[in-house]
Amino acid sequence: METGKILLVEDSISQRAFLKSLVSEGGYDVADAENGVKALEYLKEHNTNLPDIVISDIMMPEMDGHELSLMIKKLYPSILIIILTSDTDDDTLIKSFDSGATDYQSKPVKKIELLIRISNLLRIKKAEDTLHLALTKMELLANTDALTGVPNRRHILKELEKAIYTSKRYSLPLSLVEFDIDHFKSVNDHFGHLAGDEVLVKICSFIKQNLRQSDIIGRYGGEEFLIILPNVSIEGAIAVVTKCLDSIKNLSFESAPGRQITFSAGISQYNGQHKLDEFIAIVDSLLYKAKNNGRNRIET
Ligand SMILES: [Mg+2]
């Protein structure tokens, strides 16, 4: 049998007591409320430990079962609803399902019937929750660079698009950094690809530690990264990147002993006009300039 938490909503005191004992006997954890308003209060209070199923009467004072269903579907979409009704005419059933019920139970309630309905819904819910979790995981994988754990190219570009929108919409500054690890190929050539991987992982996590929660670093290409700095002017961005550039020299790498790592970076502040590609093209050419001007430096 599935375990589960149930909220019973019924205005009749005797019905409520009867249903409560019936559902408890089924082994479920049961709470109860006398109408829709009280039920919503309960859900608000138990926001972190919501019931799996709400079983609700239709005819109740203050807020009826249909209104309650609509509210639950809006506020707590993962909760499943069973409507209790003595009218099983077409209109009542259609209205119940339209307002978000997953199932209905006709009155008078037969114990075994209600328990089977609950058990079935809990099984559906568990499958839905598992699917939802799997989808969330897949989405995360699709957006993450497997080596460094930061957003991949696809995801960082999406984030940049959002950042540009916010910057335009609220007239807030936005800075973008593109940096590239200097002589990365020679790290791979001298110490092997595992050393190259270690360098990428360490540099990435080091820079991440030096950013604010709202800044985003993502892997743009092989050894190229983008950093989005929302609500940061060019001066702020230069300060952050300079600090990273100064301290990154002191990092040591187990698989590349004695090797000092530096990077080159292009930094630009959004001008409120450019399209995403144009903005990237600017930092791209600044990065190129930094490389040409001797590496281990910033160009703006
Ligand atoms: Mg009633």
Is-catalytic flag, 235? no
- Per-residue pLDDT reduced to its tens digit, 123-169: 999 998 899 899 999 999 999 999 999 999 999 999 999 999 999 99
pLDDT tens per residue across span 188-235: 999 999 999 999 999 999 999 999 999 999 999 999 999 999 999 999
- The pLDDT of residue 87 is 84
Q: Tell me, in angstroms, the distance from the centre of ligand 1 to residue 87's CA.
A: 12
Give distance in angstroms: CA of 1 to centre of ligand 1.
29
Write the pLDDT tens digit of every residue in 252-268.
Answer: 999 999 999 999 999 99
Question: What does the mean pLDDT of the chain come to?
Answer: 94
Domains and CATH numbers, the chain: 5-142 (3.40.50.2300), 153-299 (3.30.70.270)
**225 CA → ligand 1 middle, Å:** 62
Per-residue pLDDT band for 1 (boundaries 50, 70, 90) equals: low
Q: What is the DSSP string of 197-211?
A: HHHHHHHHHHHHHTS
Q: Which of 10, 178, 198, 223 is catalytic?
A: 223
pTM of the model: 0.68
CA 69 to centroid of ligand 1, rounded, Å: 15
| Per-residue confidence (pLDDT) for residue 129, from 0 to 100 | 87
Give distance in angstroms: CA of 122 to centre of ligand 1: 25
Within 8 A by CB and 6+ apart from 7, the residues are 30, 31, 32, 33, 39, 42, 43, 51, 53, 54, 55
